Amino acid sequence: MAISHNLLLVLIALFMISAATAIFLDSPTPSPVISPHDHTFSPSLFPNVLSSLGFQQLSAAASSANLSTTGTPVTVFATADSSLITCPTCSLPLLLQEHSVPGLYPLHFLRSLAFGTKLETLAPNRCLTVTFSATSRDPKVFINGVEVAQPDLFNNGMILVHGLRGFVSHLSPLSCNVERMSSLSFDSFPLPNSVSTVSSASPFSVMRFMLKDAIIRLRNSGYSIVALALRVKYAELSELKAMTVFALDDVSIFASGGHAYLPHFKFHVVPNRRIMAGEMVSLPAGTVLPTMEGEQKLVVTTAGGGGVLAPMKINYVRVVHFDLLHNTRIVIHGVSVSFPHMHHHVTADQKGFAQMEQSHAHCDVSGSSGVCDVHDDFAPANMRSSVLGNIEEQEGL
């Protein structure tokens, strides 16, 4: 039985990897630093910052480049006025977009990237390539062959500016297609009249950037299978306004009891709600949360606030890591095992949460389906003991 389970896990992982590869370009890139808070950028913010740093020509072009409408932190690789002389025919608004990357990439982060990594820019289908000098303990960083001569000139958590010095030109339309295994490209902004108008992007364009952020960070923090699941479900997830994900780490997925997570990944996603730790622990027992798996719901079986001795549980499963990862649209919490399904009748209270009214039948968390037909404090004591015993056995308690 153990061999067949291992074989099933390997086949599932191979399927996820092949499906993800067919949909996305692979990326070894560590995550940029994304601020967890929503930001509003005034139209004058980018021009003022660039002007104060001495980038007068880019400052004059910043308003036309519409960088302030992205709704996400931005890293600007700013070109000196003297370097712009080398490109007299360049469109400065487009050039600025081609040198602006969603997310914050300080120097130490750039140095951690693989040689030749491509960074998707705010200009559609344009990517910057990161390379390094071959020697020294602190290698110099180059963006499309131009040295980052003045790193980390400005960083307020919303805008990060690096100064470049050298020859510049517009990026090639093929800049994201070379060395495909070193890049991760998502749907890009429209390009009317040769300059991308970021403000005309779809309302869920920020969600695409936030999914990219979550995928890369999960891959580099021991949750690579969940990252693959996000990639495979990308088209569906990118239509959401926000989401809360309950994640199982790679070790737990391949351990006993973790094989039910992948087939029921959407059961672990609460759509259009970003429930941070503070709100999560305040949910009372019996609160019902919707999931992306049809009519299947999640139920708070043990309210938060009990600390180590009485940790919060959802569907009888412990939440072991709150706010494991979060950005402006997504929050991910770590759980100990895959959620069993709970069938119950629900009604809605005045706060808008659905409360369990009654429940009965049986519970089976040992099988592959992970079905559990019980109510937290309303189930018979012997049934609750059986349920908790099965789950705790899977958790290795």
Using a 10 angstrom Cβ sphere, with 0-12 exposed, 13-18 middle and 19 or more buried, the burial of residue 194 is exposed
Asked, colleague to colleague, whether 2-18+208-395 and 31-201 share their fold, the answer is yes
DSSP 112-153: TSPTTEEEE-SSTT-EEEEEE-SSSSS--EEETTEEEEEEEE
Query: For the segment 22-35, what is each residue's pLDDT rounded down to a tens digit?
Result: 434 334 344 454 44
Q: Find which of 213-217, 226-230, 378-382 is predicted with most confidence, using mean pLDDT.
A: 226-230
- CA dist 33 and 35 (Å) reads 7
CATH topology of domain 31-201: FAS1 domain (2.30.180)
Residue 357 Cα to chain centre, angstroms: 35
Give the whole-angstrom CA distance, residue 308 versus residue 320: 10
Residue ranges per domain, the chain? 2-18+208-395, 31-201
pLDDT digits (tens, 9 = 90+) for 163-199: 998 888 899 888 887 544 334 444 433 333 333 333 3
Classified by CATH at the fold level, domain 2-18+208-395 comes out as FAS1 domain (2.30.180)
pLDDT of residue 176: 80
Nearest to 268 by CA among 311, 235, 225: 225
Tell me how far apart the alpha carbons of residues 296 and 291 are, in angstroms, rounded to a whole number. Answer: 6
Least confident of 156-160, 305-309, 393-397: 393-397
Question: What's the average model confidence in pLDDT over 132-148?
Answer: 84
Interval 283-288 mean pLDDT: 92
The Cα 108–Cα 239 span in angstroms is 33
- Segment holding 290, helix H or strand E: strand 287-290
pLDDT bin (cut points 50, 70, 90) of residue 41 is low
